Amino acid sequence: MWLLIDDIRNLNCEAIARTPEAAKELLKCNCWECVCFDHDLGCAETGHDIMKWMFGMKIYPPQIQLVTSNPVGRDNMIGELESHGYKSSDYINWTK
């Protein structure tokens, strides 16, 4: 199952979290094959903040996909992913 964390986009995923609160609730099930992250969520919390929370809760999806258009946010999330052992050949799709 795939989870999209994004306030605007609609991608072919089984679940979409539009708010940080919804994202955290859905992530708690720890059942996602892939989590797709946007950075800018239209509020004070970012996708990077949710990613840090997720790793702090010891939730490590086997795949993560970055769908953000924010280059600085993308770079911050890439650093977070690399610091937790994720690898990528295209800087969009990441695996543990």
Per-residue DSSP letters for 62-90? SEEEE----HHHHHHHHHHHHHTT-B-SS
CB within 8 Å of 43: residues ≥ 6 apart? 7, 19, 20
Q: Give the model confidence (pLDDT) of 9-22 as tens digits.
A: 989 999 999 999 99
Residue 4 has pLDDT above 90, yes or no: yes
Hey, what amino acid is at 10?
Answer: N
CATH number for 11: 3.40.50.2300
| CA–CA distance, 21 with 27 (Å, rounded to integer) | 10
pLDDT recorded at residue 34 = 97
- State the residue range of the domain holding 47: 2-95
Total tally of structural domains belonging to the chain: 1
Per-residue pLDDT tens digits for 17-61: 999 999 999 999 989 999 999 999 989 999 999 999 999 999 999
Output the pLDDT for position 95: 98
Prediction pTM value: 0.95
